[in-house]
Amino acid sequence: MTGMMIVYGDRILLELDQISAKFLLIWDLVRASLILTDQSKRSRPSQKVNHCLPSSY
């Protein structure tokens, strides 16, 4: 019984490992795209500022 629990625990650890690896991959992609959009915002700041202002101004 304890052997089964150890095997099951190892399987859970493996699954968690794979999930965290996928999460890190997704996070790297998100961070890269955020950096890219940040750079494009800086290259044309005048267009972005107008969109941020409320319509009442």
Question: How far is CA 26 from each of CA 8, 14, 53, rounded to the nearest angstrom?
Answer: 27, 18, 32
Res 54: pLDDT: 62
Alpha helices of 1-57 — where are they, by DSSP H? 2-43, 45-52
Residue 27 has pLDDT above 80, yes or no: yes
**Residue 15 · residue 8 · CB < 8 Å:** no
pLDDT greater at residue 34 or residue 43: 34
Q: What's the chain's length in residues?
A: 57
Other CB atoms within a 10 A radius of the CB of residue 50 amount to 9
Q: What is the pTM of this model?
A: 0.47
Residue 19 has pLDDT above 80, yes or no: yes
> In the predicted model, what is the mean pLDDT of residues 24-36?
93
Q: Could you say which DSSP state residue 55 is in?
A: T
